[in-house]
Amino acid sequence: MREYAYWIQNERAGVKRPGPDFLDRLIVSPMADGFTWYLEEGFRYRSLVDPNPGTITVVQRFETDFASIPSPLTVLLPKWSVYGPAAVVHDWLYWEQTKKRAEADAVFLEAMNTLNVPAWKRLALFAGVRIFGGWAWWENKRLKLLGVTRMRPPRATWPAFPTWHRNRVSLASWITRRPGSVSPLKRLPRQK
């Protein structure tokens, strides 16, 4: 955040420096489940969030559900709105986990600010990921350790179901078929 504050200070002083920005158009196609979309082309966002400011690249074929908002709240905050591109970047950061969770959430807030999302929506979505995003973070970590991917296969035909959803369903059925077995989805130790 220090870098972002520095950028704002320099901008007020008239110093030209590239700020946070989306560098590509977001081009997605729907999956057969009606909730998940995949990227037709790569998608880049330039972030100034510390400690690793730079360009975040969401790769082609990545599967996203945009904003993961509980159904009763979709009246006020639909899964797709002006904050959609920010949600895709956030999904990518939660899946790849190349930044700490707090940094990924800060990038989400910064990206929504870049998109001029109204303040009340921006703060509501940010509070949601800070309070409830821990489960998704750990679930993604477990799924990656089990070899699950969120990449659409290169020559998949339509309609296709999301790769990560299909693998989650098959893992869940495998666990229920083997009573008494040790769950491969057991909780991972927390990072310090």
Report CA-CA distances (Å) from 188 to 31, 93, 139, 185: 30, 19, 10, 8
3-class SS of residue 40: coil
Do 121 and 73 contact (CB within 8 A), yes or no? no
**Token couple for 111:** 């990206």
pTM for the model stands at 0.74
Q: Hey, where are the domains in the chain? A: 2-147
pLDDT tens-place values along the chain, 192 residues long: 444 444 455 555 555 557 788 999 999 988 877 788 899 999 999 999 866 788 999 999 999 989 888 888 878 888 788 899 999 999 999 999 999 999 999 999 999 999 999 999 999 999 999 999 999 999 999 988 988 888 887 777 665 666 655 555 544 544 444 445 555 445 444 444
